[in-house]
Structure 1
Amino acid sequence: MPAGGTNAVGLTLGLIGDEWNLLILRYALLGVRRYGEWRKALPISHAVLTRRLSALTEMGVFERVEYQASARRFEYVLTRRGRDLWPVLLTIWAWESRWVTAHVEQLPRMVHRGCGQEFRPVFGCAACGRAVDPRDVDGGFGPSGSWNRSVPEVTTRRRSSSTEGAGLFPETMALIGNRWSATLLGAAFQGAHRFRDFEQRLGAPPTIISDRLRVFCELGVFAQSPGAERADWLSYHLTEKGRAFYPVIMTAIDWGQRWFRAAEGPALVYTHRECGQDFQVRLSCNQCSALLRGTEVSVEPGA
């Protein structure tokens, strides 16, 4: 990646903050490759599907491969970069399954082939193997990191209503399907909790920050309380539900920094306090404790 532009965080949040992209990737990871198969599976227009497949191919998530020379027909095959997105989809599924009750479609069951059990992923440190809570990790901007460079680029996206459950990932989209929502959530995980903290770090208009804080409180991701300096200066803190979204953010950042390396260095750097090592994501099975691999996760219809 060239120096000075949108960094790995901004590029990644732009990709996963688009519900159509997530739905297309969901089916791709289940084996869908052809345009007509996505059209059959999704309520998506020709124009939207064409744009999304083109953008995902440009990002190196898909490779466009000709499968019929006479009529010049192509299929979209996941690259190694694309297949490596499975932890992001898995953590989104796990969070929605645990914290969100309303879905247009029933969420699938995830079975670990290694032990044969339905499971949930345990978020941990790759260096020491221990389970990790957001408060166990210290982090901040690296050489290519800044708030401006981490804001996702504006794209045309399908937004789900956070109150009507209009989508397979309704509340995930409420948290990261808006460029300011994603950045505000990141600021909260870096310790911001006052209105002016968010305003200074994001550089967004006050009306947008007020609206995002309101939505996050309505979703139960933030809780507000009187400020320590003045009671009428509200403070916003992540709830248990909000902290539980951390694996989604971290698997996405982990993926982005592996595949979109900036010339200056990483956008974000993290240390696991307990072992003192650079933090990298490890997902394990809560049933057998084994390290999860994408090829060992089976997607089955919900009960």
Structure 2
Amino acid sequence: MLGLLGDEWTLLIVQRALLGARRYGEFLDALPVSNAVLTSRLQSLSATEMLSRNQYQSNPPRFEYLVTPMSRSLWPMLTSIWEWERRWVTDHAEPLPRMRHTGCGHEFAPRVVCRSCTAEASGNDVVAQWGPSGSWQRSIPGGTQRRRSSGHRSGAAILFPQTMSVIGDRWAFAMLVAAFVGMRRFTDFQAQLGAPPTTVADRLTTFTDEGILVSGDGGYQLTDKGRAFFPVLVCALSWAQRWFPSPEGPAVILTHTACGRRFDPVLRCDQCQRHLRGAQIRPVP
């Protein structure tokens, strides 16, 4: 999942495809992307079947890129990222637009609810445990993966700057998940994840600088901003386990303590209280 989605251009191209972009020029007009980067990402998205490349003209050959069920089902994660960045991240060159739910006509904020009991859920009442195919060792990167430099952000990173400090780096993603399940101390992050001390120190510094974690009492705690990232994490996990199932069973099992059932996240409109659908979400001009 992180191999596919830990790249901001990929997320932005899929987002534009979900909003109706289909042709090369439409993506180019909508995003501050170079021809080389756009061509590369469209090729990789087609190869991984996240977009379907179809020829609509033969002379000269022209292609369009259509959403597939795989990319269409990313809308809960993308909606959660948009809301988190809009509400919690202030260093955008321009404010991110609000969202409108065409089902009720109102501007809205998405809320995560449990599919089983329909009650709103948060990181405080969802418990995670490893499934048959899961472990810290299988969730962290190999030694050859390097962190992208935060000091050399592309034009895309201006749009989702802090989200990409989490999902654009596997060590950071693993450490934030660990914080959600109760890990607090530097030595615990290092021992459980098997991470080099410099890696742990670097990611903890990034998270504290961005206000996602706060240090104190001999450890690190999630802030309100950090806890608000919960919808992004659970929607990403749900997407990953749907499209990359293991024959051994799920990697992570989530339980909603309020109802005692397995937790499957659903997004709901905070205005009309109805379940959201991706096709009903539009940015407010």
TM over 0.5: yes
What is the CA–CA distance in structure 1 between the aligned matches of 2:14 and 2:195, rounded to whole Å?
31
Please, which of 183, 187, 204 is the counterpart of residue 213 of structure 1? 204
Q: Please show how residues 160-175 of structure 1 align to structure 2 within 5 Å.
A: 167-175=158-166
Aligned to 2:100: 111
What is the CA–CA distance in structure 2 between the aligned matches of 1:269 and 1:285, rounded to whole Å?
26
Counterpart of 2:172, as a letter, is S
Counterpart of 2:204, as a letter, is L
Aligned to 1:41: 30
1:173 is paired with a residue whose SS is helix
Q: Are the equivalent residues in 2 in contact too, given 1:62–1:82 (CA < 8 A)?
A: yes
Please, which of 220, 245, 268 is the counterpart of residue 284 of structure 1? 268
Aligned to 1:300: 284
Please, which of 211, 225, 233 is the counterpart of residue 241 of structure 1? 225
- Using the aligned pairs only, state the percent identity: 51
Task: Name which of structure 1's ranges 115-124 and 166-175 shifts more when overlaid on structure 2.
Answer: 166-175
Aligned to 1:125: 114
Provide closer, same or farther for how the CA distance between residues 70 and 158 of structure 1 changes in structure 2, counting only shifts above 3 A. Answer: farther
1:249 is paired with a residue whose SS is helix
What is the CA–CA distance in structure 2 between the aligned matches of 1:126 and 1:257, rounded to whole Å?
16
CA shift at 1:251, angstroms?
Answer: 0.5
CA shift at 1:214, angstroms?
Answer: 0.9
Counterpart of 1:197, as a letter, is D
What is the CA–CA distance in structure 2 between the aligned matches of 1:35 and 1:133, rounded to whole Å?
39
The unaligned stretches of length 5 or more in structure 1 are 1-11, 228-234
CA shift at 1:300, angstroms?
Answer: 2.5
Provide closer, same or farther for how the CA distance between residues 40 and 160 of structure 1 changes in structure 2, counting only shifts above 3 A. Answer: farther
RMSD across aligned positions (CA): 2.2
Tell me the TM-score normalised to structure 1 length.
0.87
What is the CA–CA distance in structure 1 between the aligned matches of 2:123 and 2:213, rounded to whole Å?
15
CA deviation map 1:99-154 (0-9, x unaligned): 11121243122111121110000111010000012010111211111223223674
What is the CA–CA distance in structure 1 between the aligned matches of 2:28 and 2:254, rounded to whole Å?
40
Aligned to 2:82: 93
Tell me the TM-score normalised to structure 2 length.
0.92
CA deviation map 1:77-99 (0-9, x unaligned): 11011111111110001111111
CA shift at 1:46, angstroms?
Answer: 2.8
Aligned to 2:173: 182
The unaligned stretches of length 5 or more in structure 2 are none
Provide closer, same or farther for how the CA distance between residues 23 and 36 of structure 1 changes in structure 2, counting only shifts above 3 A. Answer: same
Q: Are the equivalent residues in 2 in contact too, given 1:18–1:177 (CA < 8 A)?
A: yes
Aligned to 2:63: 74
Q: How many residues align?
A: 282
Poorly superposed stretches of 4+, deviation over 6 Å? 155-158
CA shift at 1:28, angstroms?
Answer: 1.0
